[in-house]
Amino acid sequence: MTQLSPKALETLERWLQDPLVDEATKGELRALENDPKELEERFYRDLEFGTGGLRGVIGAGSNRINRYTVGRATQGFAKYILEQHNGEGSPSVVIAHDSRRFSPEFTLEAALVLAGNGIKTHLFPSLRSTPQLSFSVRDLKATGGIVITASHNPPEYNGYKVYNADGGQLIPDEAEKVISYIQQVDSFDAVKRISQEEAESQGLLHWLGEQEDEAFTDTVASVSVAREEITSSLGRNFKIVFTPLHGTGNIPVRSVLSKIGFTEVFVVPQQEEPDSEFSTVKSPNPEEREAFTLAMELGEELNADLLIGTDPDADRMGAVVRDKDGKFVVLSGNQSGALMIHYYLSRLQEQGKLPTNGAVVKTIVTSEMGAAVASHYGATVFNTLTGFKYIGEKMTQFEASGDYTYLFGYEESYGYLAGNYARDKDAVLAAMLIAEAGAYYKAQGKTLYDVLQELYEQFGYFLESLESRTLKGKDGVAQIQGIMNDWRSNPPQEIAGTAVSEILDYSLGINGLPKENVLKYLLVDGSWFCLRPSGTEPKIKVYFAVRGESLQNAKDKVAALTVQVMGRVDGN
């Protein structure tokens, strides 16, 4: 134990001596007494309440996610909820969870702590998607929401995201309040918790059912701009293979596709059921081609037109289309976003429903291609920091002021939302839109790949790529900060033979945005790259974007940029 830092040692001893910590947890910690490095990792800090909440490796310790760290966070969130409640009726929180290890247990723990603070919880009895949680907070007029998920992280992770009364993840000033309240919870006996029996008998635990599911899928289906055409003919001639990647998307995606008239939808059988180990994939992430291996096999067998995948909490959607040779191509988040903006806005325009004050919102690391398409249809484009909570914040501002009508929001990381029913990205909605776009263009003799090539020819050959480096643990945090410090203090004058025209350091709070540890370098030819530590994983992400004279020219530009920048990031 002497090899531990003073903070880690003190916190470990407190856990081992606290009578409120169960014996199984203490046993897990005692079993690590000959592994000081692991104990240091588990106790050198409290698990950070970062982008929207907690996310970490499951296990005993203050820097792990477990019932105690969930309970402590919920006690802090309870104070925030009671503060936010306007005094009419009773304060309430909606809670949902995905298919990960301990998700049901953490959900119930959060509910019982809220109940201990006199806050009613609306609880889903089994797994539900993150966008449904956002919708239900708004639909039930709750004071806030919680979803237990680690999105597309590996199986050893789980997480805890919190939402405000708008149904959006907490923005920085809200999160700072919750963090300060959590920090005030200095012992486990400060966590107010009652039993499930007490909570139910006092009317503080309410189980939701099919009515709320139906309300969500009906609302998503109402956003369709081709429902009549899909139902009458197009939906019978378009074959879709779908994989929920063992997560929450299975039922809602199939329900919505059925509601708008798609009859040829086939689910990858090996990935249909919830599985906390995500045993058929290396990572349950629809951003990665490997996640679609089984879907592609089924797609070839069935001669499918489109493959769709959703991540475990169904807030990210990936699509696979056929190229001119009939081979499957995984669309990037930027490509899917540009296609959906083009399809959605063009159909609204055809139907005379495109507002004159329309707005499209994207993040600072998202391609400019979608912005070019949106501008073509007369929409104003807004940029936000990374994180859909900022897009949700814009939506609420538009709704309050009436200055703009929200049309579409998206991130390069496969998150999309059309419609005003939620404040978080929705893979269920995105699956519907990309499917109906595919069916609509198929009726014109075109694939989505064909339409993408048309957009390149019209707006320019935009191309993007993403590199990331995983640097785990205490040392990794320091390495990532060191990389950011190096680029900040020694900015390049040129990269890959192209001069740097401007450096945007978002830690200074520029362009009216909150301060965030992000660096973006603009080059004179319109290319850019951006360094950003992940808010949810032990990674530093580096984004690249170019606009070429041809697709090959764009590929060459991206390759040259990547070699130069990553060489420096890796210390070469």
Tokens in use for 536?
Answer: 């949810």
| Rounded Cα gap, residues 299 and 240, in angstroms | 8
DSSP state for residue 158 in the 8-state scheme: E
Q: Which residue has the tokens 């000959």?
A: 34
| Rounded Cα gap, residues 20 and 209, in angstroms | 33
| Rounded Cα gap, residues 386 and 341, in angstroms | 19
Tokens in use for 56?
Answer: 């970490």
Cβ distance 284 to 99 under 8 Å?
A: no
In sequence order, the β-bridge partners of residue 410 are 362, 416
Concerning whether 283 is annotated as a catalytic residue, the answer is: no
Cβ distance 415 to 387 under 8 Å?
A: no
Cβ distance 194 to 112 under 8 Å?
A: yes
Q: What share of the chain is helix, strand, coil (3-state, %, to 5)?
A: 45, 20, 35
7 exposure class (CB count in 10 Å sphere: 0-12, 13-18, 19+): middle
Instruction: Choose among 89, 82, 197, 78: nearest CA to 140.
Output: 89
Cβ distance 381 to 371 under 8 Å?
A: yes
DSSP state for residue 188 in the 8-state scheme: G
Instruction: Choose among 429, 330, 348: nearest CA to 388.
Output: 429
| Rounded Cα gap, residues 477 and 254, in angstroms | 41
DSSP state for residue 79 in the 8-state scheme: H
Quick one: how far is CA 222 from the chain centroid? 23
Q: How many helices and strands (H and E) does the chain possess?
A: 19, 21
Among residues 92, 151, 413, 527, the one annotated as catalytic is 151
| Rounded Cα gap, residues 217 and 236, in angstroms | 20
| Rounded Cα gap, residues 266 and 243, in angstroms | 9
Tokens in use for 72?
Answer: 């402590």
Beta strands in 164-305 (DSSP E): 205-207, 240-243, 265-267
Contacts of 20 (CB under 8 A, 6+ apart): 188, 189
Tokens in use for 360?
Answer: 């499209």
427 exposure class (CB count in 10 Å sphere: 0-12, 13-18, 19+): buried
Active site residues: 151
